[in-house]
Amino acid sequence: MKIEFKKADLVPTMAKVGAFIGSLAEQKDYVLEIKPKPKRRSLDANAYMWALIGKLQAELAKNDPQITKDEIYRGYVRQYGKSVDYQLPDSAVNAMTKSWGRNGLGWTAEKVDDGIYPRTSLVRFYYGTSCYGTKRMARLIDAVVQDCKALGIETMTPAELAQLMSAWEERK
């Protein structure tokens, strides 16, 4: 059971918890955990990031017509996102990277080194922005904004960007 609540709603929440606990089997052990709700990224911030990436792609395509928005996005995910390294048997690398990539556009993987054991590889798996929190997403957007500014592409002012990020936080 998962219940999201504010402290002001404690009494009705406790009634729900009490009813649920009453329905549990007597002979089992249980864990009750209460923790702050994590802040998730703003869909408005995500839309802004993609709008900027579109402008970057248009500008960069003047010198490299083959460059795509997806390629630019994946580059930012690799540079500013979260990743995890795993040592895998060489025979499993292709299947694992394909499977990981099915999670979404930013979910990529690459071989970064040979493994420490024979016939193994060290593979880095990157998480897509769909699982980013506010801070990580803000860091990524800041990087996109800086690159846009370097190319003379118009962006939001820092105050507008801060308002965009905080507006979403207030909704949560």
> Does residue 71 fall inside a structural domain?
yes
Residue 157 lies in a domain: yes
Q: Give domain status of residue 20, yes or no.
A: no
- Partners of 65 in the beta sheet? none
Q: For 19-35, what is the mean pLDDT?
A: 82
Residue 42: exposure state from Cβ atoms within 10 A (0-12, 13-18, ≥19): buried
Q: Which domain holds residue 110?
A: 43-171
Q: Is 12 a member of any domain?
A: no
Residue 102 has a pLDDT of 96
CA distances 148 to 75, 91, 145, Å, are 15, 41, 5
- Per-residue pLDDT tens digits for 126-171: 999 988 888 898 899 999 999 999 999 988 887 877 777 776 566 5
Select the more confidently predicted residue: 102 or 29.
102
* Domains in the chain, number: 1
- Which residues, 6 or more positions from 146, have their beta carbon under 8 angstroms from its beta carbon? none
Categorize the per-residue pLDDT at 172 as very low, low, confident or very high, splitting at 50, 70 and 90: very low
pLDDT class for 63, splitting at 50, 70, 90?
A: very high
Query: Does 154 fall in a domain?
Result: yes
Indicate whether 18 belongs to any domain. no
Q: What is the CA radius of gyration of the chain?
A: 22
Q: Is residue 25 part of a domain?
A: no
Q: Rounded to two decimals, what is the model's pTM?
A: 0.69
Higher pLDDT, 83 or 25: 83
* Domain annotation covers residue 15: no
